[in-house]
Each structure stands twice: as structure tokens, then as C-alpha cells.
Amino acid sequence: PFANCSFTEEELDEMYPSAPTPAFFDEKRTEEEIISVLEKFPRLVSEVKNLTPTIALVAVKTDGHSLKHIPKESQTEAICCAAIMSKPSTVSNVKIDMTPKIVDTYLRYRTTPYDYCDQFIKEHIPSQERLLEILEENGLVLKYIKNKTNEICLKAVAENGLALGAVPNDMRTPRICFVAIDNDPKALVTILNRVQTEQQCLLAVQQDPSTIMFVSEKNTTKQVWKTCLEKDPMALNSIRHQTEEICKFAFDLDVNTFKHARVRTPEFCRYAVSQKPSLVAELEGKDDMIRYIAVEADPLVIRLIKNQTEDLIVRALTLNANALAGVTIQEERYCYYAMSYDTNAIRHVRNKTYDMCKIAILGAVIETTLCGETATMWIKSNPLSLRHMIGFQNEYMGLNEVSKRLQQKPGLSCRQEAKQRAISEKNVLETQAQLELRQEEIENLCLEAVSRDQRALEYVVLPTLKLTGVSCRC
């Protein structure tokens, strides 16, 4: 899988190290060797036979959850505290008696207001005085303080906005709510919908657009959702109460937000496809007009449309002949129609015929025409340059026909038209014998190119060329 990787094998081993097998610990290993392994794979501490406090401490500092693999007899207060500092929820894996220091460490480092691990320390809650001291470091301990005051609550939410969930409803003053949301916008989730204010919601979404998921329908005002989407259009996914106006506003900011739009009216879908035609693959069945709108915006998206009607195909080919590549059933009439606009469209034809190839050859605008000895000398040194001489090869077919065909080609420049007309007039003045001589000269030129490099055969367009197995190639 790393055959085309730019990293060396040594670098890959360093980036994606392989965990040693349990047999690694069966042999006599030094403490340094074991520590070097546990720094990368801390949970292998369960395989260590002679577990020392130093080894255990390294494991829990790397991953606090590795504490559950350390037996009770090897756990110490220091090891448990180090594990809790790394992962507070690992307090559930403490097997020794809860000490005040372990409980203090958990209360100082807990990160969520609703932690199921609280059950493991509920019988070991410290004194109110100690809780007030811890409150300076972690406002979430407010839930354990019995005699709350406005000052205590304000101090708690200023340290951690999510502590607002522990503030009694009758004490949630506008100032406390503002400070909490300013500290952590997700504190908005703790405010009941019926008491939410637009100012609170606006403050939250300005800092964190995803918090609009906590905004009530009443407060999903134009100012709130516009502020939110201007910060992050993808936050549309978090808006519970969407409207067509909201979805369109987000779409105008980022077309990729359409996947999050839950209000998809026919009008909005048509507008979306006109801006991002590839959405037709998803919305084709919603409305017949959507397919035509998509093709008008980008003819090449016809490849994504399952129901390809004749009108739709013709319109796509009219706008861009290369849309032929996306036509599921390539009828001959579609191929000829595409080539009438751009003969290069033949490269998209899956079943080419001789007549199609002839039209493509005659319709090619030749930028370089080489003739006489110059052509022969050029081919001898550059056989594959035969591709520049398609027009030269076609002289025997009647360059007046080439000129006529090119004059019918839309968008032909005056310079190209004059050039082809001059070649055609020259051809008319030549006698039949001269034309036959020219044909022989061209055939010899092609033979010379193919004999020097067989790949030049791809650029031979003479159907009568005297080469074994040679046929029209396009």
C-alpha cells in the first residue's frame, strides 16, 4: 500500500510504530526499555511482570485510562492523581480508597458539568471552605456548594461558563448569563427556551456558530441566523428551524451547504442547480425543468442525468459538442450533430464509422501545411510529425471540398477561410495528371513515415494507401 509513498521505510516505522507482542515482556527487560515502549503503547502496562511505581507513572501520564490495567496493589495516591490529571473520568478506575488529594484532583480537573463519575466521589466531598478554594480553579464545583450567592455564582461562571447549569433559575441574572455565555457560548444550552433572549443568542453565535442549535424558534431571528451563517455557512446543519430564505442565504455563501438544507422547495432546487449544475444527479427526479436548467448552466453535466431525452441531448450538444461524451446511447444522428459544431467531437464517439472519420478529417482546420521536398525532408527526420500533414494528405481528395466544408464550420476565422480558398483555387488549376502525381507523392511520403516509425500510422488518413492492413484511423 505504500509503494508510491514518499516516506522511507524507517520514517513510516517511526510514524506508525508496530506494538510489541506480549512475549516482549516475558524476557528480561530493563526499566528504560519498558518505559520506551509504554510511552507509545501505555495500555500494555497490563503485560508488565515487574511493575514499578516509575513504570506505572509513565503509563498513566501518557494515557490516564491505562490506570484500569494497573492492579490495586500497584496503585498509589500519586499514580491515581497523575491518571486523573490526564483523564478525569478515570477516577472510576481508582481501586484504592479515595483520599482527599484524589478527590481534590478530580474536582480541579473535571471538564464537564454532567459527569457520571461524580458517583464515585459523592461520599468524599470536601468541606464547603475547601470547595470555595477549588472554585477559583474550576467553576464546575459550584454544583457541590450549598449556600450559593450571586457573588459565588458570578465567580463560578466567569471561570467556566458551563457552571451556569448549577446556578438556580431564580439567581440567573442577565449579568450572570452574559458572563457565562461570554466565557463559553455553549452555556446557552443551560438556558430554558422560554427565558432565552435574542441578545444572549446573538452573543453565543458570534463566538461559536454551532451554538445556533440551542437557539429557540422564537429567537431564530434574521439577525441571529445571518450572523451565524456569515461566520460559518456550514452551521446551516445546526439550525433547527430552517426556512427557504435561510437555506438560500447559506447556499449563496457556500454551494456545499445544499446537503444540509432541509427545506427544498422546487424554486430553491432550480436555483441551486443553476448555480451548481452537478446537483442534478441528486435532484433530477424532483422537477423536469431541473434537467434543462442544469444543461443550460453546464452542458457537460448531461453525463449525470439518467433520463436523457432527445431535446435534452440536442440542447447539450448545441451548447458544447463535447457533451457527446456523456450521452448514454450514442445514436449516429447525435454523433453527426455534434461533429457539425466541432469535428473534434469524434474523439467522444464510441463506434466510429469511415464516414464519420472522413467528416472529421475534412473539417479539421489545418494550421500547418507542408509540401514538396520540405515535407519529405521533415518526415524523414520527424516521422510522427505526419499528424501536422492531414490537410496535405487530403489534397488528392479535392481541396475544394475541404474549403467548402471549412466554410460551413461555425466560427472559422477570415485568415483560415482565405487560406483554404487559396489552396482550393490552386487545386482547380491543376490537371488530372498533376493530381495523380500528387497522390502518389503523398502516398510515398506516408510510406516513408511509417517505415521509419510505425506509430506514424495513426496519422495516415488515406483510405487507398497501399499498406497491408492499413485502414482509416482517427
For 461, half-sphere exposure in the C-beta direction (CA atoms, 13 angstrom radius) is: 24
Q: How far is residue 291's CA from residue 299's CA, in Å, rounded to a whole number?
A: 10
Q: How far is residue 15's CA from residue 76's CA, in Å, rounded to a whole number?
A: 33
Q: Identify the burial level of 237 via C-beta atoms within 10 angstroms of its C-beta, where 0-12 means exposed, 13-18 middle and 19 or more buried.
A: middle
Q: How far is residue 180's CA from residue 172's CA, in Å, rounded to a whole number?
A: 10
**Predicted local confidence at residue 404, as pLDDT:** 47
**Predicted local confidence at residue 175, as pLDDT:** 94
Is residue 277 within 8 Å of 303, Cβ to Cβ?
Answer: no
Q: How far is residue 287's CA from residue 280's CA, in Å, rounded to a whole number?
A: 10
Grid coordinates of 85: 490529571
pLDDT tens string, the chain, 474 residues long: the values are 444 545 565 655 565 567 777 777 766 788 888 888 888 888 888 888 888 999 999 999 999 999 999 999 999 999 999 999 999 989 999 999 999 999 999 999 988 776 677 788 888 888 999 999 999 999 999 989 998 999 999 999 999 999 999 999 889 999 999 999 999 999 999 998 888 999 999 999 999 999 999 999 999 999 999 999 999 999 999 999 999 999 999 999 999 999 999 999 999 999 999 999 999 998 888 778 999 999 999 999 999 999 999 999 999 999 999 999 999 999 999 999 998 888 788 889 988 887 777 676 665 533 333 344 444 554 555 555 455 444 444 544 444 444 444 444 444 444 445 555 554 444 444 434 444 555 666 677 677 767 777 666 666 665 545 444 443 343
**Distance from first CA to last CA of the chain, Å, rounded?**
38
Q: How far is residue 79's CA from residue 99's CA, in Å, rounded to a whole number?
A: 12
Q: 198-207 and 174-183 are packed helices; what angle lies between their axes, rounded to 10 degrees?
A: 10
Burial 406-420 (b: 16+ CB within 10 A, else e): beebeeeeeebeebb
Q: How far is residue 139's CA from residue 167's CA, in Å, rounded to a whole number?
A: 11
Grid coordinates of 423: 489552396
Distances, alpha carbon 397 to alpha carbons 161, 345, 461, in Å: 86, 22, 11
326 alpha-carbon distance from chain centroid: 23
Q: How far is residue 404's CA from residue 380's CA, in Å, rounded to a whole number?
A: 32
Q: How far is residue 145's CA from residue 157's CA, in Å, rounded to a whole number?
A: 14
pTM exceeds 0.85, yes or no? no
CA angle at 318 for the pair 316 and 319, rounded to the nearest 5°? 65
Sheet strands (E) in 89-222: none
| Other beta carbons within 10 Å of 281 | 13
Query: Model confidence over 217-243: pLDDT tens digits?
Result: 999 999 999 999 999 999 999 999 999
**Predicted local confidence at residue 25, as pLDDT:** 74
Query: Model confidence over 158-217: pLDDT tens digits?
Result: 999 999 999 998 899 999 999 999 999 999 999 988 889 999 999 999 999 999 999 999
**Predicted local confidence at residue 336, as pLDDT:** 92
**Predicted local confidence at residue 463, as pLDDT:** 53
